[in-house]
Amino acid sequence: MRTQVGIIGAGPAGLLLAHLLHLRGIESVVLETRSREDVEGTIRAGVLEQGTVDLLTDTGVGARLHREGHQHNGIELRFDGRGHRIDFAELTGRAVTVYPQHEVLKDLIARRLADGGEIRFGATVTAVEGITTETPVIRFTDADGTSGLLRCELILGGDGSRTVTRALIPEATVRTDHFRQYPFAWFGILAEAPPSSDELIYANHANGFALISTRTPTVQRHYLQVDPSDTVEDWSDDRIWHELHTRVDGEGAEIKDGTIFAKTVLGFRSFVCEPMQYGRLFLAGDAAHTVPPTGAKGLNLAVADVYVLAQAMERYFRTGATDGLDAYTATALPRVWRAQHFSWWMTSMLHRMPDATGFDHKRQLAELDTVTRSAAGRALLAENYVGAPLY
Ligand code: DHB
């Protein structure tokens, strides 16, 4: 089998790149270890930056997102029992849209298949060879156990945070991994319940962080900061609702209880791989970098990466010029580090560190007070939350 771009991973990076390349007349094949049902059913975050929405809309995959997604013109930061609104519309003229990642993936898969694109679900990559030559090869095993071989000119490593492609960049001599672990996790629930708030609430509380989000008028998504060793069994429904009320209820806010139907514990880390390319291999999305979930930057960064890559690949296939490809890391990385900083900043301002003293908590409250009191502080937060335009 032969194609122009071999894409490893049918996540946001891989599927969107395949779509953007198709619009530029470039062929690709996507290889994905998991089944289509698994990819389309895995619950992830749900906040799309304005630039992500614009790109999906302008490339013809935004119809359902506009029908079923919900535009949010602000968020609330809650601390000391009171809410403080960050008005995105007023501060930036931009907004975010709450539309779950797996719905974006469903839309991209449907469009790719309608366009005659090839996505091989259940195909496990067993080897990638020749990435420093002009004729790289991807070996894989199909869902039925048969071995396959994909010859291509360029390769995308879009295989998520448990990536195997990242290891193809030689460690120490070429690759530097920047890594930070956090001493807590998020406990995420989906509940059949009415919305507790019109906008997302990010709450700082002495017991730890809580986030009130939403999916539909009848399904809500909430998160609690928990110990990283906690499991789903440690948190009964009663304990979850009690803790959400404790951390969020107060002036102008009261959590509405409901029936919990999904519970997950999410790990927390910051990671950046530099460079994001080696020879004919280009990493994008979580394979190249992971952000803590506070601020929901993960999918949006994957989108920004492949927007850069699609242009560079188009230039290469049209003219043979490699300057755009060679500049991929330098072009994509500043946005990655700005998102790392923003996610870390939101995390550090809102979460309780296990060794935090009374001083640390008071200092956090003062930081939140400083940010929300100042128009410049609110604008800084808003600009980063809605994200810089892609184009
Ligand atoms: C959601 C997740 C986030 O990490 C966030 O910052 C906001 C919302 C969500 O899943 O809805």
- Cα gap 348→363, rounded to integer Å: 11
Distance from Cα 74 to the centre of ligand 1, integer Å: 14
Distance from Cα 249 to the centre of ligand 1, integer Å: 19
Distance from Cα 47 to the centre of ligand 1, integer Å: 6
Distance from Cα 225 to the centre of ligand 1, integer Å: 13
Atom nearest to 98 CA in ligand 1: 11
- Cα gap 211→294, rounded to integer Å: 9
| pLDDT per residue as tens digits for the range 185-215 | 999 999 999 999 999 999 999 999 999 999 9
Cα 131 to Cα 3, 41, 390, distances in angstroms: 15, 32, 29
Pocket of ligand 1 from Cβ distances under 6 Å: 45-47, 200, 211, 213, 221, 293-296
Atom nearest to 188 CA in ligand 1: 10
The catalytic site residues sit at 72, 202, 293, 297, 385
Q: In this structure, are residues 389 and 51 in contact, taking their beta carbons and an 8 Å threshold?
A: yes
If we measure between CA atoms, which residue out of 190, 270, 180, 187 comes closest to residue 227?
Answer: 187
Question: Could you give the angle at which helices 358-373 and 375-386 cross, rounded to 10 degrees?
Answer: 90
Could you tell me the sign of the dihedral formed by the alpha carbons of 51, 52, 55, 60, in that order?
A: negative
Neighbours of 134 (CB within 10 A): 9
Assessment of whether the complete model's pTM goes beyond 0.90: yes
Residues in contact with 264: Cβ distance below 8 Å, sequence separation at least 6, in sequence order: 43, 187, 188, 232
Residue 172 is predicted with a pLDDT of 86
Residues (pLDDT < 50) of the chain are none
In this structure, which residue's CA is closest to atom 5 in ligand 1? 296
Atom nearest to 293 CA in ligand 1: 4
In this structure, which residue's CA is closest to atom 10 in ligand 1? 45
User: What tokens were used for 192?
Assistant: 């059949």
